[in-house]
Structure formats: C-alpha cells, structure tokens
Amino acid sequence: MISLGSASDKESISYHIKQVKWNRRDLSSEPNAYVKKLISMFAQIEKVLSSHPTLPKFIHHKLNAEAVIYVQEQLVVAFAEATKCTTEGRALMSLDQSELKKGLQQLKNAEPMPTFDYVTNFIQAFYLAEQDLLQWVEDHPVTLFFVHTSFSRVGRAAEAIKAKERNVLEQKIEEAYKTGKSKQNNKNQKCNSLFFFCYSWAVLIFLQKITSKITFLSWCKSPRCLGEKVNEKSGCQRITGNNFLATNKETKKKEGRKLFCPIKIKTKQKEEKKKKNYNKKQKFAPFA
C-alpha cells in the first residue's frame, strides 16, 4: 500500500532522504522536502480509502497505523545509512520527525496515532557515551543490527576513535545485541509457557463441565429417574421438571447402600422449616 521506493530511483522518497546532507553546521528551521512527499502520499491513500464508504472506521485506522509504523522503520534505516552526521544534522532529523507527525495527525481516522518512540530513541542514542550506548543496544533488540552498528561510525561514542578502536566498538555492540536478543527470547518463551499453561487449564475446566453435563443428561434419561416409580427397589421419584428425589429408606437399609441421583433435594430440611414456621404462627396466633 505504501513504499518509499529504492535508493537508486531518483523519484523515490528513499533517494531524496539519501541525498540529504546531515553533516551540516547550521541549524535549520524548515524540514526537508521528503517530509511533504510523505504527507502527500498518505493523503492519496486517504482518498482511496474514503472512496469506499462501507469500509469501517477501525479498519481505516488500522491501515493508517500500520503504514505509520512502516514509515518509521524505513526512516530509521535511511538515517542509519548516513556516514557523516553532526549535532545540527541530528536536530534536523528530529525536526523532520515532528513535522511529519503534525501532518499525519490531520488525516481522517488517524487518532490515536502510533507513538514515534522508535525514531525518537534512535535520534537520542546519537548523544550517548559508549557505556550508555551499549546498554541502549541491549535494551532495544527489536531494532535492526545494521542500525546499531551505525553508531560505531556516527555519534558521540565514535568521536575521535581510530580504525582498531572502531572495530572493537563494533564487537561490543554485537555482543550487547546478542545478549539483548537472548533475553528477549527467554522472556517470550516464559510468556508462551504461561499462556499455554493457562490455556490448557481453561480447556480442562471446560471439558470437565461438559462431561458433568453429559453424565447429568445420561442419568436423567435412565429408567430410575423416568416416571413416578419405575421400580419399587430403586425408590427414585421424579417430582417436577429436573428435580429428583431419592426416597424409600427401607430399601436403602435392606440393600445396605446409598442410592445416587444427579440432583438431591433435601426435603427433610424443607419440611422441618415448614413445621417451625407453622409452630411460630400458631404461637403468635390469637386465641379463637
């Protein structure tokens, strides 16, 4: 749906980003020309989506959000390809980001807008020292390894270092990236195992409920629970609907076992409660 094109194509946005000189010495108050092209590209996409009135708003918003995330990833890759960059050039990157965000917020169904933390974190990592940079690389394993290695050429950690020291810095970045990846994989495995445990437990509970219902229906259809008194020895009566009652104490005593019914109604307690209520009424009733 959206593409920045290849860097070899002169009409593509990637080519215009690559042509920007980031090693400038003066601060700029205006963004680069590729920002307006990106905003116009999103405006064209909005026209195409608006031509379909039956398209739900949440799908329109989802498409916009995915396109914004894709553009952020491509911008970071384009910024990382810069071989030379100064503090003023990094400030220009931040200005381009803020202007792009303002332009995209004016589109329909754009809110809530995805955060631009992916680009912001990359721009801010330019100012980090070596130890802080290695910690940042370890904490951001989602970022491409090529993007991390760009800080060995450009940034505060790469200032006034020789070729051998640059190679050592690249090795340190690679080690930090690998440790961050391993931590992320372990975290994902723990989350997956916890999800599988909860899912299996929920399935077991669901199956247990189903089996209990099946056994209940099978007992309801059994000859002991159908009719008023199918067998005198069973002593199982059907009262109303699905209410069942096990009576006939004499048969229980003779056979020396307890009869099983799916639903047991404690009639004794109900009868005792009725008697107590009746006795209370008789006590407080006036003499005739």
Q: Do residues 16 and 40 touch, judged by C-beta distance below 8 A?
A: no
The structure tokens 């064209």 sit at: 44
Q: Do residues 227 and 214 touch, judged by C-beta distance below 8 A?
A: no
Q: Do residues 217 and 223 touch, judged by C-beta distance below 8 A?
A: no
Tens of pLDDT, residue by residue over 261-278, are: 444 445 666 777 777 776
Q: Distances in Å between the alpha carbon of 155 and those of 38, 89, 129, 151, 212?
A: 27, 11, 9, 6, 67
DSSP string, 185-211: HHHHHHHHHHHHHHHHHHHHHHHHHHH
Report, in angstroms and rounded to the nearest whole number, the Rg of the chain calculated over CA atoms: 37
Short-list 108, 178, 171, CA closest to 138: 178
pLDDT at 243: 43
174-208 burial code (b ≥16 CB/10 A, e <16): eebbeebeeeeeeeeeeeeeeeeeeeeeeeeeeee
DSSP string, 109-147: T-PSPPP-HHHHHHHHGGG--HHHHHHHHHH-TTS-HHH
pLDDT at 94: 93
pLDDT at 283: 57
Give the CA angle between residues 159, 169, 79 to the nearest 5°.
Answer: 65
pLDDT at 280: 65
Can you give the residue ranges of every domain in the chain?
13-184, 236-284
Q: Distances in Å between the alpha carbon of 9 and those of 18, 64, 76?
A: 11, 25, 19
Tens of pLDDT, residue by residue over 93-113, are: 999 999 999 998 888 777 888
pLDDT at 216: 54
List of the chain residues with pLDDT < 50? 224-265, 287-288
Instruction: Collapse the DSSP code of 236 into the 3-class scheme (helix H, G, I; strand E, B; otherwise coil) and give the result.
Output: strand
Instruction: Copy the structure tokens of residue 171.
Output: 């090795």
